[in-house]
């Protein structure tokens, strides 16, 4: 499982949830992993849990809504680790639920779009040159099952995740012959620690919305991301991998 030995990865929004699971998987496969979050203390706690030695999981405070913060993340990674080979643009928010677009506040719209879509753009803008400088590598962007379907009441999130998919495909074409592969994954509902705080009724509804009648595990998402980052998918770029138990096949 050490085939990422000597490689450096960044996983944004990795203090909890899916991002934490991805960071942990990349660490177990041998990578040095930079994990980011808006609160440095939470990033420190997660890094210490994954790697008590503090040598191979490194926390960095980053606000992906701020392009200068993302640039600093990439610059600091290059200085501290000597390279960047893998980037996972995971950080995102769903925003308020159950609100039609006419009632959605401008501030909430901007927060979702700036986090989920602009944050991914900033990661690509500053991360790709660093990956090229480091000899090439791969990027995985986190879209969603909402990236190819619509769900009422969360239009900004759905819009952003559709945008992530379009961004992935365009940028993959721009760098297909330059040693950088860019792909996207689209999880359905994932059984994260946050999900466990919800009521049994809501959890059952989420699970049953998938034809497989359960939610994904964090490990299942992380394994797919690791595959797309690895040389095992060396002829794969510009694709969307659904990890949704058949949700978008309905």
Q: Each residue of 130-166: pLDDT tens digit?
A: 999 999 999 999 999 989 999 999 999 999 999 999 9
pTM (predicted TM-score): 0.96
Q: Tens digits of per-residue pLDDT, 86-145?
A: 999 999 999 999 999 999 999 999 999 999 999 999 999 999 999 999 999 999 999 999
Evaluate whether 96 touches 66 at the Cβ level (below 8 Å): no
CA distance 238 to 149: 18
CA distance 132 to 54: 27
Please give the share of the chain, as a percent, with pLDDT higher than 90: 94
pLDDT tier, 21 (very low <50, low <70, confident <90, very high otherwise): very high
- For residue 238, report the phi and psi dihedrals to the nearest 5 degrees: 75, 20
Q: In this structure, what token pair is assigned to residue 209?
A: 């919305």
Evaluate whether 89 touches 142 at the Cβ level (below 8 Å): yes
Dihedral sign, Cα of residue 239, residue 139, residue 141, residue 28 = positive
pLDDT tier, 3 (very low <50, low <70, confident <90, very high otherwise): confident
Do strands 32-37 and 86-89 pair parallel, antiparallel, or not at all (unpaired)?
Answer: unpaired
Question: What local confidence, expressed as pLDDT, does residue 196 receive?
Answer: 84
Average predicted confidence (pLDDT) for the chain: 96
Helix (H) and strand (E) counts for the chain? 8, 7
Measuring CA to CA, which residue among 119, 87, 90 is closest to residue 8? 87
| Annotated catalytic residue 104 | no
Average pLDDT score over residue span 20-37? 97
Question: What local confidence, expressed as pLDDT, does residue 194 receive?
Answer: 85
pLDDT tier, 193 (very low <50, low <70, confident <90, very high otherwise): confident
Query: What CATH superfamily classification does 8-243 receive?
Result: NAD(P)-binding Rossmann-like Domain (3.40.50.720)
Torsion of CA 139, 142, 147, 151, to 10 degrees: -170
Measuring CA to CA, which residue among 244, 89, 234 is closest to residue 176? 234
Decide if pLDDT at 1 tops 70: no
CA distance 83 to 63: 21
CA distance 30 to 8: 9
Question: What local confidence, expressed as pLDDT, does residue 34 receive?
Answer: 98
Dihedral sign, Cα of residue 41, residue 43, residue 49, residue 55 = negative
What are the extents of the domains in the chain? 8-243
Q: Classify residue 216 by its DSSP letter.
A: B
Evaluate whether 54 touches 48 at the Cβ level (below 8 Å): yes
- Catalytic option among 157, 189, 241, 247: 157
Evaluate whether 83 touches 134 at the Cβ level (below 8 Å): yes
Average pLDDT score over residue span 17-33? 97
């Amino acid at each position: 499982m050490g085939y990422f030995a000597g490689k450096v990865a960044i996983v944004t929004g990795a203090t909890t949830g899916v991002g934490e699971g991805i960071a942990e998987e990349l660490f177990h496969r041998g990578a040095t992993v930079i994990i980011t979050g808006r609160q440095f203390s939470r990033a420190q706690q997660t890094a210490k849990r994954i790697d008590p030695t503090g040598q191979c999981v490194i926390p960095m405070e980053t606000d992906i809504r701020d392009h200068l913060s993302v640039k600093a993340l990439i610059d600091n990674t290059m200085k501290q680790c000597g390279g960047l080979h893998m980037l996972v643009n995971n950080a995102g928010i769903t925003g308020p639920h159950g609100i039609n677009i006419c009632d959605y506040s401008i501030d909430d719209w901007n927060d979702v779009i700036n986090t989920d879509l602009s944050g991914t753009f900033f990661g690509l803008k500053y991360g790709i040159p660093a990956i090229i400088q480091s000899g090439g590598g791969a990027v995985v962007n986190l879209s969603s099952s909402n990236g190819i379907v619509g769900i009422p009441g969360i239009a900004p999130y759905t819009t952003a995740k559709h945008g992530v998919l379009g961004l992935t495909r365009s940028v993959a074409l721009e760098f297909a012959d330059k040693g950088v592969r860019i792909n996207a994954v689209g999880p359905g509902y994932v059984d994260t620690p946050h999900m466990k705080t919800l009521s049994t009724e809501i959890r059952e509804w989420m699970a049953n919305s998938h034809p497989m009648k359960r939610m994904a595990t964090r490990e299942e998402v992380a394994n797919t991301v690791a595959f797309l980052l690895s040389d095992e998918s060396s002829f794969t770029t510009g694709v969307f991998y659904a990890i949704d138990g058949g949700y978008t096949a309905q």
